[in-house]
Structures are given as C-alpha cells and as structure tokens.
Structure 1
C-alpha cells in the first residue's frame, strides 16, 4: 500500500512518504492476523537544516497487525486495527531543546524503537479477486530518546497520523458459489380431513391464492404457478425461462432482446442452445373473418404488447402479417398487409412510437406449419414481431 505520514513536529522533518506490505490470514469471521512491514522517508524541515542537518530521515519496521471486523452486516467491509512493530530509525535529526528561534547544531542519529498503531479502514470490492484497501492510523513511535528531534522540552515518543491506500488480493482457493437451489415443490403438512383442495395442487383452498391452477402445474407455497425468473409469466408457459431480471417481456415470457427462447422440437439452435428464430408470435391477436378489424381479445393483448415495446425505445421492429392458404396469393398478400397496418395503428394509439415500426404483409408465402386442417391454418394466420439489427 502507498503510505502518507503526518509526522510529529518534534521530529523536525517534513511529512513522510512510504509504503506498507503485509501477508495475512482470516482466522475467524471477525479476526484477521497480518505479518507486515513498513517504510517511510521524511525530509528535514527548515529548522533542522538551519542547524546543519542534511539528508532524509527514515523509519522502517516489521510486526504483527490484527484486523477486527464487526459482526453488523451494514459494516461488514469496515474494520478496526491494532498493530505492534519492531522499528528502526535512520539519519533522524537529533539536537538539544531549543529556547529561541536560532537552532543549535543538529546531528543525525540511528535508533531502535517499538511502534504502536491504532486505526480503522475499509475494503471496497473492485473485482471478485481484488479489493481496494484504505485506512487511517494513529501511530506512537516510542523511541525512548529524550532529545530525538528538535523541540522545547523532553519527549520520548512521537505521535503521528498515517494514511494508507492500496490493493488487497485474496490468495488460495476460493469456495465455489453454491448452485441455486431448484424451486422445491411444496409438500404441505397434513390438513384436516374437512379441508378441501379443489384444484389438487397440494395447497388447501384456505391458503390457495390461485384456486384454479391447471392439473399438473408446479406451484409455490401460495398455490400459484412457479415463476423462476420473476418475469410475471409462469414457468409452464414461459418460452424464455431465464429472462434477465427486470426485463419487460411479451405474453410468452420473452424479452425483445438479450433473451434465450427454448427451442421447439426440430428447431435450429445457436451455440448457447437457444432457438435461432427470433420472431415473436403475438398469440391471440386475431381479426374478424376476412377483415383487418381486430377482435376485442386482440386489443387487450396489444395493450400489453404496447407497454413492452415502450421499454425498448431503441429497437426497430417489423410487424409482419401472415394468412393461411385459402384464397389467391394476391388477395392474401393485400389482406396480410392491411392487418399489419391495423396492428401498427393500434399500437400507435396506445402510445408506441410508430416511426420505428414497419408493417409488412407476407400473405401465405411463409406458413408456420405445412397442412390444410383447420388447426394448421389457424397456426399460419398470425402476426409476428421481428427485431431488426
């Protein structure tokens, strides 16, 4: 650590610069012990130089330091310290007591001493393996020489302030962070025979905040579906189960960027195992038969989509309309384009900046599934959001 000393004026030197090195071990949660060495250089001040003193005074030492950490969580990176060092001083100014403004001749002295420190410090994490360490110490250099330094009166110790700042690098094996525990399926205590569990999720109706949970759905202690990533979409319908915390999501549980959709059977995946196709299908956004008029249910869904889009004001998005295979290609192309425009218009009325939305109609040229059953055609009639790079 870099060290700066506010020296006792009786030393007849200027403030000192130096360094500290230490190696230590954490003994308990509240105690660390360190073997340390320090070094400080102090230039003679004008009073000492006037008496004939030249050169720099030096103080160095080696000893033991105890760091005391409080048990309070809000002070967990703060510590107190006490240190005892064996020290040696070199080329220190030495003269008789002064009783006037004209100093007597000053010589230099080497001496041995015991150095005591009391202080406090703070550890600021910079990375997982590096911490910034800053501390302030009150030092007593108990040299035992009555006339060491230049002063009026007898002093056998120097009392000084020391400020240290540097890096602390933990050594050794770091314990691996515990793996996050999988959400435990609630196994309630045996309930009285008369207490009902209407949805069969294992949580009695008297405590069940989601009383109509679908059969087989995993629930928490309140009887509600689990939501591992906290995005508001239950795990059993969440297509992106690891959405970053705080990200706004669509109804399928996926954020518009920096998310990973679980691939369906047969889908291409990237190197992270995420689905390559980044299109967001707006399920439930339907239109009246052979029309571009949105159904009431579609409008409710688009209200939620609008709130999500407002959270991604920097994204350019294509709003893509698709139809089934019934009708001519030209007719379906026009219908899909009108439907895409209808969605953009509704989102604009809901507060979304439409200058970053591009409506495009693809007609029946990009079916989601191959087939001519009513179910297949219903899947192919859809509206998608495609994020543009």
Structure 2
C-alpha cells in the first residue's frame, strides 16, 4: 500500500486529469469476494459515492461512499453489511476520454448482529480504477478495491461498475489580460501642396499645382545666366561657346519626357521699356530655337518676355546689369 502511494505521487507531474465540474455523484453496482477465513460467501453490493473535485492540488478528488449488501451468508446464517468510507483519488490521464486512477481510504463496516466471526469495525482500503468519459458530465468507472479490516487484517475484494455524473460546473478561470502597451500616435508627415516634397523639408509650401520643384520644394529654375549664357548688351544671339550649357536643359527634358518648359526672357534697365520687352522675348526665343535643335519638341516649349520688370540685381552697376540679362527655364508637369 505504501509503495502504491509513492508511485502515484511520482507519476503526478506526468499524467494529470482534470474535471470541468465541482462535484461527482456515482451510483455503483458490483460484487464482493471475501477472504476464505471470514466464512462468508461471495455476494453482490450496491453503493453511492459523492466526490468533490479538487483544483491546484496533488490529489484530484475526495469522495464519501456507501456500500450495502443484504444477501450475505456466514456459515449458512443470512445477514447484511453496510460499509461507509472516505477515499482520496488521483487521476492519470491516458487519452482525452480514458484515465487510470488510484485511491486510498478508510471506513467503517456495520454487519448483522447474527454473525459470529464478522463484527463491526474499521477498515482501510486501496484500489485502482479505469474511467471512461462518455460526455463532459457523464463517465463510466470500473474499479477494484481491497478493503482490509483493522481487527484481524482480513480482506474483502470489491469489484464495481460506477455511473459518474458531474454537477455544478466549475467557473471559468479568470484570465488577467496583459496590460496593453500605449499606442503612440504615428507622426504623419504631410505634403500639403502635393509637390512630392514633405512639409518638414518644403521651403516653398504653397507651390502651384503642376509646377516642377527641386529637392527643397521650390520651383525648379535653370537660370541660363548661371550656366554662362548671359547675353551681351542689346543682344539675343547665343554663341556656340554656350551651347553645351543649354544642352543641360535639353538633357533634363529628355529625362522627363512628360514635362513642359517655360523660357522667361529678361533684360537690364538700359533703354526704353517697350524695346527691352521685345528684346527679352527674342532672348527667350533664341534659347527655344537652340533647344529645338537639340531635340526638344517645340510643342513642349513656351516663351515669354518680361523685359526689365523682374531684375535680380542692381541695374546701377555693370555687374548687376549683366546678371539681369538672362533667360530662366522653368518646368511644368
């Protein structure tokens, strides 16, 4: 008996069965095979057990039980016996439906006063059983228990079939939700003017729609003065010396075939205003002609002259006037 208890404890970590119900009611039927020296015959027995299913425990159930036999013969004398007991049970799950269980317990046997060799007294018991779960709250139990009397160490072997019914369903375990991590708002970097340059780097936040911009978000302008094509006084002719610079505008148009270019001509303030307006147009047209010769379609070129209206430097100095004689190339999508 001691060895069985030790074996049950050792196996606990490997095979644990659980029940979804707090209590179990089990009517039983079976038989009793007494030890020969008791002088009684093999007889039938019926019983009832009420078990309390345990949680977070080494053991799985504590049960109170009762067995009754009314057709016992002791040396030909008929009588009966009632046995009351308490067991502790450990389940070992084998499959989803089958489990093996072991039990140990103690009780009291109340026998007929007619009997001579069998008297009331206490007993200890141990046993093994097989449990088959038919549904969530109904199972069959087949069990063999050896009941040993304290007085003389006499044995009664009980073999029973039980019909276990679970009742009072266990509460679902409370799952403590992990604290949610605060959701940090995403920093959304917008492009309000839809020019392809985000607001945080856009230096010209209100660029008109369709205007080609540079990496800073400002209108892309190729100033031909910057490229070395600043015109001589009262001149709109482009010398071959500066043709390679204008090629850069043509190359940019070739890289972006959907773009259109606007050539804006400008002059210094020397001379009549009306004359300077015509001269600025001629300068823009001269650059347009050079671009056409470099393969840019005339349908993608627009020219306009502003004369002296948009200076970028001081017209009072020679250097300033030279900077103002220019053509600016601007682009539209």
Higher relative contact order (CA 8 A, sep 6+): 2
- Provide the TM-score with structure 2 as the length reference: 0.35
Relative to total residues, which structure has the larger strand share, 1 or 2?
2
Normalised by the length of structure 1, the TM-score is: 0.30
Higher Cα radius of gyration: 2
